[in-house]
Structure 1
Amino acid sequence: MVLPFSKHILSQNPFLTKLPPLLTILNGHLYSHQFNPFPQKFSTSSSGHCERLSWERSTQEILLQKLKFALRNHQSQEALETFHDFRRLYGYPEVQLSNQVIVQLCYSSNHVLVRKSFDLALKVVQENSGLIHVDTFTKLALSLARMQMSSPASVILRLMLDKGFVPCMQFLSLIVFHIVKTEIGTQIVSNYLSQVCDFYSSLKDKKALFKPDTLVFNLALDACVRY
């Protein structure tokens, strides 16, 4: 222990004043970096990269679980918003989930949500034409027809026809039945059936496509007579 008087004498010694570390000790303060001639610096770049990857992975999993939960509980609007969030960050989710979102939206009794299902389907087709199943297109066309959205329904039917598909006669009859309830719908159906006939006639293997049933044409002809 250094007495105060001795400490004063030592601090006034011209020889000792040339030794700053010693004075620091005498003043009761010790800084380790003054005595360490080899300061070490640790890089945190690798740990930060791992944390970022872990955060991204957990965010992707959270959004997927949130989307699946919304679909299971028929929370259509929540599912749509989560779907858009996931697509902006990571692209489209797996094919099954993407189709489930469209189908659940189009099964809604809300006209707005049904229209959103149509808009979503068009966007998906533009960016990834093979992502939507034919069955999903068929269900969407039927839902649009039931809502008297004749023009959007015909767009979906023509998208299917461009891919070489026509709904099975059971579904096509229902779609036509709903669309021909209006004059504009009757005109749309007539044009579509004409395109189906042209497409069928151009096929070399006509067994590859369902041949339209007479019931479908009778529905269209009956509507033409009414209007």
Structure 2
Amino acid sequence: MKRINSESSAYASWDASLALSTPWIEATHLGNVVSLAAGDVLAREGERHSYFYLLRSGFVHSTIQRSNGAEFLLEIFGPGAIFGEGPAFANRPRPTTTRVVAPAILSRYLPADITQKFSTMPELAASLIQLLGFKNKMVVEKLAGVASAAPKERVVDLLLRIARLQSNSDFPSAQESRNFQVDLTHEKIAAMTALSRVTVTRTLNLLSKEGVIETRAKQVIIHDVSALRRLHYKNS
């Protein structure tokens, strides 16, 4: 089983899922496949919801509502992420609202159905236990500092994650000179980072002036991955 990267990250449970979800990705016979459009809500904060999910493509985020009514972005999920397993197995109300921000294909599971498979597929249970433990650790770290992450830090973090998915590695030297194309509008990036569109546009323009990216219609082209990484670790 892959080792989880121990470096602090704003959305590290996605990293954890990428490291632990292989047995779930390969078990295509389990659960039901569902396709959802941007804006669709999977579960709302405070409601009971019977399922948990493996995200096969697209992007989903989870938010919590602050006392002033504003939404706070708690997590971003990309391909390979497993989410919703805690409240689904415990049959508890959802602590967050989970919404699709880019068209998504997911595998949907009922805990009762999956529990029956644990005896013959123990790797499924092992991955969930490890993932839950890592998520609990990350909640504490987020409460300690991630909530105050600057807009530039959030945008850079998201761009690096998407580029890493495309490279299918942690940026080996052979990939450093590649251009990475991020097919997301400013509106979608804003939704995925809990920022306003104006703030995202301002941040992307700043990064463009620094020469690390180029903005196009409904796209962001990453020209300098090394520089983007340096920005990320400088602010981590």
Assess same fold via TM > 0.5: no
* Rg (Cα) greater in structure: 1
TM-score normalised by structure 2 residue count: 0.25
Normalized per residue, the structure richer in strand is: 2
TM-score normalised by structure 1 residue count: 0.26
Normalized per residue, the structure richer in helix is: 1
